[in-house]
Structures are given as C-alpha cells and as structure tokens.
Structure 1
Amino acid sequence: MEAYPGKAKVEGDAVAGDKIVHMGGPASRPQAPPRQLPLDIHGFSGRGDVLARLNTLAEENRHSLSPLIFAITGMPGVGKTTLAVHWAHLMADRFPDGNIFIDMQGYSDRASLSSREALGQVLRALNVPADRIPVDEGELTGLYRSQLAKKKILIVLDDAAGSQQVRPLLPGSPTCVVVVTSRDGLAGLVARGHARMVPLDLMPANEALELVRTVAGHERTDAEPEAATELVRICARLPLALSVAAANLATRPQQSVADAVATLANGNRLSNLAVGRDLDNAVGAAFDLSYRGLKPELGPTFRMLGLIEGPTFTSEAVGALCAVTPEAAQGMLNALEASNLVQAVSSGRYQLHDLLREYARGRAEAEDGHVIREAAFQRLATWYLTRAQQAGRFLDRYRRTIGQELAALTVDIEPSERARQLEWFNDEYRNLIELSRQTSELHWDDLTIGLADALYDFFELRRHGPENIAVHRLGLEAAERCGHIPAQFFMHHHLAVAYREMGRTREAFAAAEVACELSRQVRDRYGEGAVLDNIARIHLQVSDYRAALGVTRVALAIRHRIEDRHGEATTLDTMARVHQGLSEYQRAFERASDALEIRRQIGDQRGVAETLDNIAHIYYGWGRASPALDYARQALELRREIDDQHGEGETLAFMGHLYMWLGDHRQARDFVEHALLIRQSVSDRSGEGQALVYLSTIQRRLGDEGGAVRAGLEALDILQELGDRHGEAEALVNLSRSYRRLETYDRARVDAERALTISGSIGDRFGEAAALRALALVTRDCGDLNTARKCSTRSLRICRRIGNRRGEADSLDVLCKVFHRLGLLEKAYRTAVRSCAIAVEVSDGHGTVVTMLAMVEILRDKGDLHSAMSHMKEAMELIGHLSHKRQLKAWWLLAEICAEQGDHQAAERARAEALQLEKESVGQ
C-alpha cells in the first residue's frame, strides 16, 4: 500500500477524469411499518353485532378531529383480546402506517407494564432510536404523539389495568384508532378520553352454540343438539371455557357430547382463578376437563409451561424445559394446541393465555414438588445460556467471554450461518431479557452473569443500548453479590461501551474507570487493554484528541506485549481516528494501514470494513475523491455481506458526502437519506448527527437553504447533546454557509467564529481551515475585505501544512473572490487558475465549475471577453455539477457576456434558458 495518496483505480463507482461512474445507488432497505398483530383466530365465530358496531363507529369517526378510542371491557375469558385482534385484522388495510400491539399485563401474574415502558415499546416499534427516548413520562408522551401525527396507525392496548395506565398512550391524531381491552370498566377513560365503550358480555346462546359447532365439528354437535345446548349452559357461555371444552371434544372423536357434559357436570371443578361473576367453576371445570383428558406425558409439559415468563416459546425451549427432544416437544405442543391450551403466534412459536399460565402454574404447585419445578427451570435457563453463547461466537469471534480464554474461531464463518444466528437472537432476545430477570430474582448469579455476557455481542451489534444496560446491571448486581471480581470487570466494561455508544459519555467514563481499576487489581492485561481502548474512544467522541492519543499509546503497548493481534488492530484503528481528528493524515494512514494488514491476516471481516472506511476518511482529509470512494465502496460491500447495519449506515452517509463533493448532489442526497434511516433504526445517535450534517451541506448545494438550516440545527442539537465538539464545529460551519446564502450575516458570522474557536481548541486543523473559509465568505459579503483576506490566507496555509489539496483549492477559490472585490483583477485571475487546476486534480467537479465561473466574471471585468467566453463554454459543459440556483446564475452570466460581445441571438437563447429555469423554480 502506498505511503502517500495517489490516484487509485476504482471498480464499480469510479471517477474517470471528471466523470462519475455510479455503482447504482444504495441497496433498498426501507423501514417497514410495524405489523405487530398476533395471529387471527382461525374460524372466528360470533360477535356479529359487536363487530358491526365497531365498524359503524369507525366509519362515523372518519371526519372527526379526535382519534377514535374503543374501550372493550369484560370479565376474563369473555373474548376481549380475540375480538380486538380479529377486528384489527379486518381493518388492517385501512392503516398503511402499520399496527401496534402492546400487552399491558394489567392482570397477568407478571408486573403490569408501566406507561413509560409501554411508550418506549411503541416508540421503538416506530423506529425511534432507543437513545432518543426520554425518561420523563411527559416528554415520552409528547414524542409519542409527535411520531403518530398524521399517521394512520391502529393501536391495540391489551389487558389494561385501568384508565391511568393507558391515558398517556392515547394519541392526538384523528387518523389513529386505539383499541383498549380491560377487565376494568375504564370509566375514567370514557369520561376524560372520550372513549367509545364496548362492553363485552357472555356470548348469546346461539353464538355460543355456533362457536362449539365451529370448533368441535358441525356434524357431531348437530347429532346431539340437546347435549350441545347443555354444554353451552354448563360453560356459562364464556368463550374461553367454550373454546377449551369444544377443542377437547375435537381431539376425542370417540367421546360423545353427552359424555363431555356429564364429565363437566360431575367432575372435580378445581380452579385457582378468581374470574368473578361466579364463573370460576365454569372456567376451572373447562380447564380441568381438558387437563385431565391429556395423555400422561402431556400433563407435566403443560404444567411446566407455566414457569415460562417470556412472551413466546419454541419446541427447542420446551424440549430443554421438559428434558425431551425438540421433536418430542413439538408433538406435545401440537397436541396442546389442538386442545386449545397453547396458541400458535407465528411459525414455530407459541404462547399461553394469561389465565392458562396461571392455571398451569397452579397445577404445577399442586402436583410437582419444588425440586422438580426448579430443576425444569434451571434446564431451560441453562439451555438458553448455552444457545446464546454459541450464537454469540458467530457475531464477534474475537471477544473474550467470561471464564474463557481468548480463542478466536479458526475457520471462516459462513455469512448464511451468521445470519441464522442473528435471526435467532432477533427472535429470542425478549425471552432472554425476561429470563435474566427471573434468574436475578432467584439469585442464580452464575446464570444471570452468563446471560448478560452472552447477550452483549448481539445488543452491541444492533445498538440495543437500553436493553444492554438493563441486563448488565442485573449481571453486575449478581457479580457483586457473589464477589466475582472478573465478572464485575466484564459488566463494568460492557456498560462503559454501551454508555459510550448511546452518547452518555459521563456514565461511560465512570464505568470504564471502575473496569480499568478492576482489571489492574486482578492483573488482567487483556482486559486492561480493552478498557483503555474504549476510554480512548470516549475521549475521541468528545473530541479530546490529545487525551485519546495518550491512552491509545498505553493500550497499544499492552496489546502488542500480550500478542493480542485483534486488539492491536483495533487500537491502531482508534489511533488512526485520533490522528485524523488532529489533521495528521500521514500518521493516520500509517496506523490504519498497519491495522488493515493485521485484520486481513486474522480474517476479521468486520474489522477490515471498519478500517477501509477509516482509510476512506483519511483520503477525504487529503482531498482525494477517487481513492476515498474506492475504499468506501469496499467497506460498504463487506458491511452488507456480514449484515452490519450500523456500519452500512456509516459508510453510506460518507459515500453520500463524497458524491456531493464530486458534484452529483442528487445521488448524494439519496445515499445520505438512506443512511439516516439506518442510523436512526440502530440507535446510532452520533451517526445520525453526522448524517444530518452531510444532508445540510447537500441541501445547501441544491439551493434549499431552508432545508439546510433545519437539518443543520437538528444535527447541532444532537452533537451538542453528545458533547461531540468536532461534529458541533462541522454543523456550525454548514449553518454559517446556509445563513450567508439567506443573507442572515450576523448569525452566519457568529456560527463561523464559534466553529473556529471549537476547532482550534481541540486541535482540528482541517475543521479550523473550513471555519476560516466560512468566515472569509461572510466578511467578504459584509464588505470587511481585510478580514476576509486574512481568513482565506490562513485557511490556505493550514491546508497546505496538512496536505489537504481540496481544502487548498477551496481556500484559493475564496481568496480569488476577495481579490476580485478588492479590484486586484490580475491577482484574482492567477489565484483562480491555481484553484481550478487543483480542483481538477482532485476530481472536485463542483469546485471546478464554481471557480471557472469566478474566472469568467474576473475576465469580463478585465475586458477580456474572448477569454471569458472560452472559460464560459468550459463551465457550461460542467453545469450539471451545480445546484439549480447556480445554474440559473450561470445562464444569466452567459447572456450578459453574449450581449456584451454583440451576439444578441445567443444572448436571447441564454436568457430563455434562464427564464425556463426560473419558471421551473417557481413550479417547485
């Protein structure tokens, strides 16, 4: 690899001369609207009058200024959830922005969901980054309602404890519909929330009979009409009891309806469920009948299912719980589903109704000893831990885990296998979180610690920061309880990384300091090196480059000494980023090249992609577009190959910035907007701020100064909140340039001066030069030409010192315009020629044509119309690199020169083009 940047051949996306060859734009990864409704009930029966009323109310509310809120109330087992889900499926097509289903757990054996937790779930479903979700409930509600504004979304809040729990979840948008189900009367919701009450009572006798006929079979029940009617009576017309009893009949073709009725009437009506209205016998009898009729091997399985508190389970998990093979467990689940004792929620995944979970747990407590129940749950927890550890090795094979020596896999990981393990985590991480809470409550400390460690790689890759922090806090409590110092180190270190990635740098520093002290206490050099690298990255995040550089030197020495090749490459990459921040590009390039060599030797694909992206940024710092785009393209291909969404968003954003530099502004905007969606979806707050800075620049180049200011201000808010001084300065420079275009000169000057102060304080000479150019442009427009000349000259010196050729061209461009204003036309022209030559050299299409137009104006004012027209023709060939407004300015300039030359026909043609552009501008 070359020690100093030169022209590099680019495959796919390339720069050939001054022409851009595209790779085709970003791969489509749209953010799909949430579709969270559970499966609809097959063969739903009855409730025709209620469904008709719901439809009528929904139709009447179409032109209302308030959202439609349904409060479906009734006793347990009356079918509230089934009805709500069925109606929601019927209405789903009317809500193109999605549907949301939240189990409020109001009357479950688990703690009811707080309004804050529910709001967080909905916001995450709406792709709001986790680190943007506030803590204060009032702020949560405000953000929630803002997200739902003007969207057509159907929200089902199931099993609410009462009005107070769901009131914060009521949207303000009339385009939304909310369905709340509750055992509570929800009178407060009706009084204050204007909800439409839909009380659900026992099924009418005819509908109850039809339900039995649908589930048990028409021929069978029609052959015994009196017995079927009695079955409806003895089940008290309660849908849950009817479904269970009818399903029990369906699975026993040899049993008559009359026999089932006799068993129900005479059997032991045990019930641990308090369902009110004297229906406990009906529910209990139905459950008891179905339970007692199970085959001998199914009873223990059903009882053990009551121990699972996660939302869903699979045959593999049930196999571990019951000490049978997954195939045997699947057969048991099929039989239990046929008896209506478990419900399939998706392919291969099942759940228990809350009442059935309570019933199963009650039967287990009555029939199975404590030792049996504990052994079953321990098998489940151990299986989940082992499975998560195995899957985690496919996500980061280089990370040392608790109790294991560093032992990277020696074989290459198949992308398809890695994707399969990622999918497993996606399906199971909620169960793993719930399992962590259960093991923590039981003080099973080794399991709690192990689960946190096993979840770390998935949560870190997918940027599930809050979840990562939650399980690691439980792990830390467990480690402290049992005095496990190495585990305490891991928990603090992982917390520090999660805090850093969420932009919570103060907490990140605190956790990292404790982790560092613990690593030294147990003389863990590997751990110390990892912590120091993370501390350097925290310093880097707040633009404290000098502190970061000092820490990386210590970390690199440790990792080299213990022969941690992966860690050494990671720290070299960190060091390269620090040198970039200090505009020391040659040193940055050397460190990154060393990192890339190691990462390729050890086969670290994710690391290779990170370093390639890093090198692309270094070439950008040098002002060389072609190799920067080449390295960025290679990084993007790798990141897509390994499904690194966070990395993909990072590289897409930067490639958009490069396309803007090359003058392809619309391609640039497509890349950056797509990157912004990805970075928001993976909760990359820092990356979101950077993408918004890029978007602000692109909007300005396209002539949308208002959009540029909006994006710039949003970026500034994020980056200031994160303490990212480098990013803050970048945002301020972009805002200064946008405000200057809007002729808001005071604000433009203040922002440029603030950016200059920040860049100087953190040692960012690249940023300092950019701020000086912004300040030079403002002061030139305000007539302060002496200051403008000094600023542009200082910027030019800095760019030459750090080897930033593109920055040198930009500085010369600004300086030539200052000389022009000063009347130093010959000096202005010579400066413009130098600027244009460098811009062509570094493939800066936009910069080339902008400087050419400046040259044309200088030559015109010198009276050299022939040379002015010659340059004008060259510029018009490159006009596509310009924004709409700059193109308009170019056509008017051409018209003026043609008129001054006496070529009135050409002048009229140029004016016609300009007028057409103005017309298009008004149309836009």
Structure 2
Amino acid sequence: MAHEFGPLLRSLRRQAGLTQEQLALASGLSVDGIGALERGHRLRPRRDTISLLVAALGLDQDDAATLQSAAVPPRRKPPRAAERRRVGWTGTPHQLPAAPSVLVGRETLASDIESSLTGPTGRAGARPRVVALTGMGGIGKTALALVVAHRAAPQFPDGQLYLDLRGHGRAAGLSLTDALAHLLTSLGLHADDVPVDEDRALAAYRTRTSGSRLLVVLDNARDAAQVDALLPSGSENAVVVTSRASLGAQLEARQHALSPLPEDVARELLAERVGHQRMSSDEPASRTVIASCAGLPLALRIVAARMQARPQWAVSDVAQRLADRDTRLTELDSQGLAVATSLGDSVDQLRGSPDPTDQDAAELWLTMGVMPAPQVGLSGISHACSWPPDRTERAVERLAEVSLLEEPAPGRFRMHDLVHDLAHRRAGAELGRAEQDVRRRAALAHYVALAWRSRSLVRSTPEGFDDDSITAGMDPECSPRDCLAVIDEESEQLLRLLDEAGDDDKSAELIPLLALGLVSLFVTRVDNTRWADTLAFALDRVPQEATDARVWLLQDLAMAHSGRGQHDLALRSAERAADLAGATGRREAEAAALNACAIALRRLGRLTEALDVCGRALVLFEREGDVRGQAIGLRDMGQLHFQNGDLETGIGFARRSLAIYEQIDVPRGLTMSHLNLGVMLRERGDLTDALHHLALAVSLSRDVGDLALETEALDELGEWHLLAGDAREGITVLRDGLAVIADHGSGQWEASIRRRLAIALESLGRPAEADEQWGAALRICEQRSESDQAAQLRQEWARCRAERAPASRDGT
C-alpha cells in the first residue's frame, strides 16, 4: 500500500510520543523543516534527511523502509517516441534558480568574477574557465554564484546549467552517475538514452559540450574530485563552482575565498531588508544584532526574515534574544533555514569520514567548543587534546580546508564566532562537565609552564617556588623567549581560560602560578591595567596560608600599579609584601618587596626615604647571595642618586650594576643598565660614551622584544640627538618611537616622546606641528591623572608660545 510521506511522518512521530520540537532537537533538523514535510510542502526530502528522521524516531527496519519508500515518487512511464520530440525537450536549457534581489558589499567581486567568465578564452582544447567560490556554510557562495551567472548568461547562448551536488552533510552527496544523467538530459539526451556505464556517460557529456558555449553552475561541491569529471569540454565553456573546501589548485580554478561581511556591510544588508528607519531607531541594539550575526549572510537573512514576520518586535527585542550565546543558534532558525544545520553539516561529514585526519578534525573542533575563546592556539589545543603537535596541525589544517576555521594570517587560526557557538553547544551535549574541565585544565597547565619559564626574562625565580616542578614535561629546548612568543600569540585563549579557572577547584590552584608567570607578557606589552586586574583576581583566590604566593603577587601588583601611575597603591602593596615576607622569614622576597617600595617612593618624590629603603634592600640581597637582586638594587640606587642630584654616585652604581648583568647574562636587565648609564653619561656631557650605551639599549631592547624598553630607549636616544644639536635626526628617532607605539600600543613613554618632539619642532621654527605634539602630550598626562607632569607641560608650552610672540611681532 502506497503512503504519502507527510501524513506517514506525522503518524510515526505521534507513535513515538514526540512533538515537532522534540523531533527537531533529536534529529538536528529545524522545526520549520519538519512542519513543511508533514504538511506536504516538501514532497521529496533528501536521503540524508530521511536517515536523520529514522534514527531520531528509532524506527525498526519495516517502518524505516516504509518511510523511505514514501519519499520516492511513483516512477513515470518512459515517454513515447512522439513525446521525445515534443517542443522544448531539446531546447536551450536555462536552469539558473532566481538570484537574490539584494547584493551588498560584493559588487566589485561580482564584476571581477563576471569578467573572468566572459573574458578571452584559452587555446583550442584547453580546459573551460573555472571560478571557485569557497567559504563556510552560510557565507553567501550560492547567492554570489547565481548573481554572477545571471549577469553573464547572455554571453553563453548554448545555455546555462545548474546542478546541486549536495556535497556537504551526512549523506554521500550526488553520485557521478546521477550528476551526468541530469547534465546529459538537460543537454537534450533522452533519459532512456543516457549510458549506464560511467565512462560512456562521460564520453557523451564531453561530446555534447565540445564546441559549445555553456555556463555550468556546480553548487555545493564536496571536493575537487566530485567536480573534475563534470567540467565541460572546451575553453569556450565556463564553470562556477561553490564549495566549503578549497578547490583552486586541483581544478586550475580562479578561487575566491569568501569572508564574513564587515560590520558596515552587514548593517546595510539588514537595513535593506527590514528598513533603515527601524535599524536606526536603537543604535546600541542594532550593533548587538549585527555583532551576534558575526558577518554571516545566512544569519543576517534569518534575522531579517524574523523581523519582517514580527514588525511589533523592537530591535532591542531581537538583540536580547541574540545576546545569549547559549540560545543564539536557536534564534537563528527560521522557515527551514538554520545556521546550526548549515554549519553542522560540515562537522558531520568529517565525523562520518573513514579518514583518520577527518575524524581528528571533528574531535579537535569539539575540543575547541570546550575552550572559552575562538582563537585556536596550536600549543594550548594540543595539550587539551593530549595530542602531539604534528597530529594537531594536520587536524587544524583540515578544519581550515573545509572552512570550519579562518586563517586571518599565515599560521594563525580562528573559529568564526557562530561556528564556535555551535562547537560550544555540541561539547556541552556530548562531553560531561568532568571531561570538559579535564581538557581546559590540561591547556591551562601548559600555559602555566610556558608563562613560568618566560618569567625569567623579567624576574628571577620567586623564593619558595620550584621551577622544575612547575615546568615539568616541557621541552627543555624551549627558551624563555620562545615561551613568551607562544603565550603572546595565544594570549586571548590563555586569559579567557584564566578568567574561567575559578569555576573549577583544580584549575583554581593554577591561578596564582599563571598570574605570576605572566609578568613578562604584561611588562613587554606595557599592559599594566590587565596585569593589575589579573594579579588582583589571583589574590582574591589564593588561600591565606599560601604566603609565598601572596608575597610575590603583592610585589608584582605594586609594579603594575606603579606602571599605571598609581604610586600610592603601589607603595601599599609593596609594604604589605615586605611585612608578610619579613614575618615568614623569606629574606629574598623581603628584599625584592623593599626594592618595590623604593621604586614607588621615588616616583612619589620621596627620595630620601627611597634611598634608605633601597639601601636596606641591597644589604639583604647581598646577605642572601642573590646576585640578580644585587644588580637590580645597584641599578635602582644609581637611579635614585641621579634623581637626587648626585650624578657621579649614580654613575658609579650604574656601572656596578652593568658589570653584574654582563656576568649573569640577563638580557632585559643588561638593556636597562645600558639605558640608565647612557642617560647619566649624556647628562654629564660625555656624549660619545652616552651614545654607545643608548644605541646598545635600542638594539638590545629589540632583541629582547620588549616594546616598553624599546620606546624608552628611542626616547632617550632622540634626546641625545637634540642635545648634540641634530634636531632633525632627533625627530626621526623620536618618531620611530611613536611608530612602535602605534603598531603595538606600548604607550608608557608616549607623553615624554611627544614633549621632546615638540621641543625639537620649536627649535626648527615649526610651531603648528609643535603645538600638535604639546597638545597630545598634555592629553595623555591628563588621561592618566598625572597632574604634576601635566602642570609642567602647560608651563613649558606657555613659555614656548611666549617666546614665539616677539619673533612674530618682529616679522610684521
């Protein structure tokens, strides 16, 4: 007995005791899609859709066969000879589906592709012109292909063919036999005459396309192999292929990898569909809606459809629905279109593949759902998966090949936000909480080891901690600078893991170690705000009895506060660290804390107290045999004497510090000693020796990769040129410092550099440019609440303007 598919599906669903929503959740299909099937709006469901329904309904073999047969329409009788010759059977094919009415942001690309398809042809016998559009599901490949194909259609008088290869999903995709049958019948061959043998069918296809001028659109290709046999014969033909996989090299195609739409283009696309006035009615909510769609045209299309269907919704209502990461994908589902289904098809295809690399790629994708940030750090994700690096790299490359990862720069990978949302949802459903914690903790422990080893670039090993146990299992060849490079590259993931570590007791134990280890990252980035926040976060979570950790966290917090200009807070933190270290007998820690107190006192202008405290710290360093601490203490004593007006004593301490740093080979400390000594010698008038040390400081800071030191060294070298009477070279060097700040944001010395630039420009008679630098330096000081420095700048600027006035009057 024949069954209609829709009523049969409804009956089976009800027998299983499921609602449409429950069946949608169990099958991975959309609620709208299931409704359309049951109502008979979709008469020929795909085979993979039927397989999903069979599994979700738990059908036995007989019911499954009945459902599958109901989906196959009755086979029509072959046409009689007269019918084969009816009008239109062998007519010119015009099979292109309708193109979207709106194309925003890709007009230039569309024109470029059209030119590629319709331009001069190749030599006789050459392959057809092939353009491949690649990218993630929902990125707009088919829409762009159809727009271009319709525009180019007049240039292809022999017709335009369209074929959906169904290459992405759990099903195997359209077979070569079925694809050739469609193409051959579209070109006039009767279905009864299509060769059953694939080789003969291919020969027939090449014969029928040779010498023609056809445009063929092959949509949703699985890979190059699925496409290659379907390319028509002859260079007069043209082909547009869309795929989630990279195809260019294999097909000798001109490939265009589509990226998410920029924010302004996404806004324009949405506004074209729902109205500019509606989008402008609530700007913050509109920005949230656009950000939630993350530039994915499919997501924007779904949001537009829902907003059009519900004109009573304010933009803020839509924004609120999309803001929650856990429910966002549920909202991006409408009228048979679902972002989760589109993106999930690619993952399911990897999972169903017999290729081990494909299966690894699917597993790594799931693990990325456990990680809090969409950034894919090869180092961290390898440890989360417990895989060797080469296995991880192969899996990452595979994900990039099928557009489940973006590669914004060579070797740098990132998940699209909505892909990451789907991975997060799948991980939550498929992995238990314990397993998710294990994977996050493995990545976090690895970052702790990397950060701890990098700490030596800026600080010595804290008293009470064992380097070997913290970095156990690390490659001994991984240098501190290599470790810093990794944590810098993967910092987005690392810092998000740190933020979430407090939710897992075992991960929380790693927080103070990571916070202490990250000193090199924050110091070289000059990110004192995030540094202070991280240290405060760790202090809130470290047990009271963990005194060693508290002492060193407080010391680092003092330095972070000082870097932000909050010297009173810095002094309080350093004093707390010194008291705690003294009470527990940790003399090296006490010496380091006293040294931090001295730095804060110096910056508060309390030089006499600072000299006394720094002297006490130096005595403790010497008593404990802490050579690196002695070098630090001598360097800071030199700075204090210099600032107190005792230049010769300051130079003496600076030379002693430099000698120790040269012996123990600490590059950053060596750089700072050359810089300090160079400044003192410059002020004494020893310009030749000063230039030697300052130039070395610039060079060494670049070797170390410390942006703060580099800008400080360029600042002081620029001042050297000004004092030497070469204002033009001084301006060049100072602008090099501003370039470093512009590129990397290391702005600790920006106000000083701009002040010196202003002075140099004044000396060259360029007052307008000088005023620009004076104003910029003043704004920086005001933003940092550095009132004394701001007052000094105002006085200097006013004096310069006053000195210009007589010259101006003389010239009138």
TM > 0.5 fold call = yes
Deviations 1:84-104 (A, max 9, x none): 9xx9xxxxxxxxxxxxxxxxx
Using CA pairs under 8 Å that are at least 6 residues apart, name the structure with larger relative contact order, 1 or 2. Answer: 1
Deviations 1:673-721 (A, max 9, x none): 2223335666555522222232232122112345445534543554576
- Aligned equivalent of 1:465: 528
Distance 1:179 1:188, change over 3 A: closer
SS of equivalent residue, structure 2 residue 413: strand
Q: Which moved more, 1:271-280 or 1:525-534?
A: 271-280
Residues 535, 556 of structure 2: 8 Å contact kept: yes
Deviations 1:727-754 (A, max 9, x none): 568646643541341348xxxxxxxxxx
- Measure the CA separation in 1 of the matches of 2:582 and 2:522: 27
Deviations 1:347-405 (A, max 9, x none): 34434444444444444444444433332232222223223333444x33634387237
Residues 707, 746 of structure 2: 8 Å contact kept: no
Shift of 1:460: 1.0
Distance 1:333 1:645, change over 3 A: closer
SS of equivalent residue, structure 1 residue 350: strand
Shift of 1:553: 1.4
Q: Which moved more, 1:659-668 or 1:612-621?
A: 612-621
- Are 1:323 and 2:424 matched, yes or no? no
- Aligned equivalent of 1:290: 349
Q: Which amino acid aligns with 2:493?
A: N
Deviations 1:131-161 (A, max 9, x none): xxxxxxxxxxxxxxxxxxxxxxxxx99899x
Kindly report which structure 2 residues correspond to 1:403-552, keeping only aligned pairs within 5 A, or say none.
403-404=465-466, 420-443=482-505, 444-480=507-543, 483-552=545-614
- Aligned equivalent of 1:704: 766
Residues 668, 704 of structure 2: 8 Å contact kept: yes
Kindly report which structure 2 residues correspond to 1:668-817, keeping only aligned pairs within 5 A, or say none.
668-679=730-741, 687-716=749-778, 718-719=780-781, 731=793, 734-735=796-797, 737-743=799-805
Residues 138, 342 of structure 2: 8 Å contact kept: no
Residues 708, 738 of structure 1: 8 Å contact kept: no
Shift of 1:609: 2.2
Deviations 1:851-887 (A, max 9, x none): xxxxxxxxxxxxxxxxxxxxxxxxxxxxxxxxxx89x
Shift of 1:560: 1.5
Q: Which amino acid aligns with 1:473?
A: A
Kindly report which structure 2 residues correspond to 1:627-638, keeping only aligned pairs within 5 A, or say none.
627-638=689-700
Identify the match of residue 79 of structure 1 among 121, 124, 139.
139
- Are 1:275 and 2:324 matched, yes or no? no
Q: Which amino acid aligns with 1:588?
A: G
Shift of 1:321: 1.9
RMSD value, Cα? 4.7
Residues 652, 675 of structure 1: 8 Å contact kept: yes
Distance 1:666 1:522, change over 3 A: same
- Aligned equivalent of 1:306: 369
Distance 1:445 1:703, change over 3 A: same
Distance 1:83 1:706, change over 3 A: farther
Residues 440, 474 of structure 1: 8 Å contact kept: no
Identify the match of residue 190 of structure 1 among 280, 290, 294.
280
Residues 299, 332 of structure 2: 8 Å contact kept: no
- Measure the CA separation in 1 of the matches of 2:804 and 2:138: 63
- Measure the CA separation in 2 of the matches of 1:737 and 1:288: 68
- Measure the CA separation in 2 of the matches of 1:82 and 1:402: 62
- Aligned equivalent of 2:441: 378
Kindly report which structure 2 residues correspond to 1:597-616, keeping only aligned pairs within 5 A, or say none.
597-616=659-678
- Aligned equivalent of 2:710: 648
Distance 1:682 1:476, change over 3 A: farther
- Aligned equivalent of 2:62: none
Deviations 1:468-523 (A, max 9, x none): 2232232222214x742222222222222112112222332332233223222322
Shift of 1:432: 0.7
Residues 576, 592 of structure 1: 8 Å contact kept: yes
- Aligned equivalent of 1:266: none
- Measure the CA separation in 1 of the matches of 2:551 and 2:679: 34
SS of equivalent residue, structure 2 residue 376: coil
- Aligned equivalent of 2:727: 665
TM, length-normalised to structure 1: 0.50
Distance 1:658 1:55, change over 3 A: same
Residues 157, 181 of structure 1: 8 Å contact kept: no
Residues 537, 548 of structure 1: 8 Å contact kept: yes
Distance 1:559 1:274, change over 3 A: same
SS of equivalent residue, structure 2 residue 749: helix
Shift of 1:463: 0.7
- Measure the CA separation in 2 of the matches of 1:725 and 1:82: 59
- Measure the CA separation in 2 of the matches of 1:329 and 1:486: 37
- Aligned equivalent of 2:458: 396
Deviations 1:521-543 (A, max 9, x none): 32222222222222222222233
SS of equivalent residue, structure 2 residue 625: coil
Q: Which moved more, 1:184-193 or 1:511-520?
A: 184-193
SS of equivalent residue, structure 1 residue 503: coil
Deviations 1:397-416 (A, max 9, x none): 63438723799x9xxxx999
Deviations 1:603-635 (A, max 9, x none): 223222212221222223323433322322232
Residues 402, 453 of structure 1: 8 Å contact kept: no
Deviations 1:568-615 (A, max 9, x none): 111211111111112111111111121112111212232222122212
Distance 1:517 1:612, change over 3 A: same
Residues 398, 406 of structure 1: 8 Å contact kept: no
- Aligned equivalent of 1:807: none
Residues 499, 508 of structure 1: 8 Å contact kept: yes
- Aligned equivalent of 1:333: 396
Distance 1:489 1:653, change over 3 A: same
Distance 1:563 1:338, change over 3 A: same
Q: Which amino acid aligns with 1:465?
A: N
Shift of 1:428: 0.7
Q: Which amino acid aligns with 1:573?
A: R
Residues 343, 352 of structure 1: 8 Å contact kept: yes
Residues 569, 599 of structure 1: 8 Å contact kept: yes
Residues 492, 512 of structure 1: 8 Å contact kept: yes
- Aligned equivalent of 1:131: none
SS of equivalent residue, structure 1 residue 306: helix
Distance 1:694 1:352, change over 3 A: closer
Shift of 1:192: 6.1
Distance 1:525 1:662, change over 3 A: same
Distance 1:582 1:507, change over 3 A: same
- Aligned equivalent of 1:625: 687
Shift of 1:180: 7.6
- Aligned equivalent of 1:575: 637
Shift of 1:546: 2.1
TM, length-normalised to structure 2: 0.57
- Measure the CA separation in 2 of the matches of 1:361 and 1:311: 10
Residues 634, 654 of structure 2: 8 Å contact kept: yes
Q: Which amino acid aligns with 1:583?
A: G
Q: Which amino acid aligns with 1:79?
A: I
Residues 678, 692 of structure 2: 8 Å contact kept: yes
Distance 1:189 1:514, change over 3 A: farther
Percent identical among aligned pairs is 20
